[in-house]
Amino acid sequence: MSRLRSSALRCLAALGLVSGSFAFASQNQPAKSALPPSLVLAGGTLIDVTDWGRSANDIPDSVVFIRDGRVLSVGTRATLPIPKGARVVDCTGKYLVPGLIDGFAGMNSQGQASANLYMGVTTVVASSDDRRGHIDMHANPGPHLYLVDSIGSTDDWSLLINRPEWSKKLKDPPNRSIELSPEDTARQLTDTAKLGTRVLWLGHNITAANTQWIIERAHQLGLVTYGEFVSTPYRVGVQAGVDVLLHMSRYELGVIPDELQQPLMEDPEGSAARTAYGYSERLPPTDWHLRDYAHLLATHHTALMPTFSTFYLRLPNHRNLWNEPAARLLDPKGLNSPSDPQTGEAVYPLAPWTRHLPNYSARWMEENARHKADQEAAKLWAINQVIFQAYPHYLAGSGAPALGTMPGISLHTELELLVRLGLSPREALAAATNNYAEQFHWNELGQIAPGRRADILVLDGDPTINIWNARRINTLFLEGNQIDRESLLKK
């Protein structure tokens, strides 16, 4: 939703002419219900995360009625008398926020599911791929899973790959994926939608014409689109209405000139791609192409999901994530490129032939690899600082468990990095909660409001003052059921 339309709707809501999830104040009225609440959260400050985190209509001394996994009503003690017989949880002095959403991650084990819950991540937009493994659909307890599937190209990790009618069509040939025909892509759209897929991933080798009609058809089916383009020019994808641009290490290709974009249609993952990425990373922050691209992103429907956390270990001021309590739930074998458990630093493995080199030579090669990786991260961060100045919309996704990230833990590093970029703590919190309802119309989540799922965190500190307080979880509710966080660690 554009800022202009959002502002207009808020004005109409203030006049009482429209209603909706964008108008937080209108949701503070009790909802009529024939049944009393089975659970009441009383006394806490309910944090407002509407309007992309720009609204601050928090409700002190709030009362939240919950029944059958949903929020019935929200108000104050003065407007919502607590009925007799309801179970009451005293939240006095606490802060209530919606359960967190990780917009792009894998979850390949019960340990990872438990780590997500322990850190307050109640919904994961889950992807299967070579870095994240297969989704553990049977983890219990675990967060809600919204499935991602690739579209329009061969992919060994597609959700349809084991179906007889798709196994050969989707099987990747050696070295690179192949774009499917429009006819096969149309059937794939229908079949993956029937599986309950919520998000379609448009990958590197999808060409511009197919990108445009896939996005249009996906939206007709109510599916969300994530773009990780190479062959398709980013301007084409943005203007076609792609919902999300994924990864800080991908969407900087939007600044390359036409003469570098053209070869990517034939060579999306080879030397042409390396040339294009090199150009974008060397572009000075003052270049007008970068500012123009930032303006394009800020004025269109598309949101950015930078997955900064995949570069967390290469950026300054990182810490050892293995020291987190939730890390004890994680098996390094289920993580891609895990950091060193002792130091918390990224590991840069050397080629097997280097074992014959003297130790000092191997150490020099490893430090050289680390230096290059840190330089790349610094350049990408500088690009994102320029893009942020135009103030596009952001969604929080960790990318876990790839490239040293950790399920649950790394969504909080993502929030920290969004604040480091320039978002306020409230805006960062909105990026992991209600922005998903704003951007995707997933109106079952993202807020503590009537009709929403009762995924709720009770915090010991105010997250709008310091985003670190989002980690200070006192009590966790998943669909209105209280989860014993300490028991998760014991499992």
Tell me: pLDDT of 6 over 90: no
pLDDT top residue among 14 and 196: 196
Q: What is the mean pLDDT of the chain?
A: 92
Burial class (CB in 10 A: 0-12, 13-18, 19+), 472: middle
The per-residue pLDDT for range 83-123, each reduced to its tens digit, is: 998 999 999 999 999 999 999 999 999 999 999 999 999 99
Q: What are phi and psi of 379, to 5 degrees?
A: -65, -45
Q: Which residues have a Cβ under 8 Å from the Cβ of 228 and sit 6 or more positions away?
A: 201, 202, 203, 204, 245, 246, 247, 250
Residue intervals of the chain classified under CATH 2.30.40 are: 3-93+477-490
Asked if 12 contacts 18 with a C-beta cutoff of 8 angstroms, the reply is: yes
User: What pLDDT does residue 34 have?
Assistant: 62
Tell me: pLDDT of 321 over 80: yes
In one letter, which amino acid is 7? S
Asked if 39 contacts 87 with a C-beta cutoff of 8 angstroms, the reply is: yes
Stretch 173-194: mean pLDDT? 94
For 400, the token pair is: 């876990």
Asked if 442 contacts 455 with a C-beta cutoff of 8 angstroms, the reply is: no
User: What pLDDT does residue 306 have?
Assistant: 98
Cα atoms in the 13 Å half-sphere on the side-chain side of 385? 11
- Model confidence, pTM: 0.92
The per-residue pLDDT for range 53-92, each reduced to its tens digit, is: 999 999 999 999 999 999 999 999 999 999 998 999 999 9
Asked if 459 contacts 469 with a C-beta cutoff of 8 angstroms, the reply is: yes
Stretch 303-331: mean pLDDT? 98
Tell me: pLDDT of 395 over 50: yes
Burial class (CB in 10 A: 0-12, 13-18, 19+), 480: buried
Q: Label residue 14 by pLDDT band (50, 70, 90).
A: very low
User: What pLDDT does residue 361 have?
Assistant: 82
CATH class, domain 100-422, is alpha beta
Report the percentage of the chain scoring pLDDT > 90: 86
Tell me: pLDDT of 4 over 50: no
Stretch 308-328: mean pLDDT? 97
The rounded distance, in Å, linking the Cα atoms of 246 and 239 is: 16
User: What pLDDT does residue 491 have?
Assistant: 66
Residue intervals of the chain classified under CATH 3.20.20 are: 100-422
Which fold is adopted by the domain 3-93+477-490? Answer: Urease, subunit C; domain 1 (2.30.40)
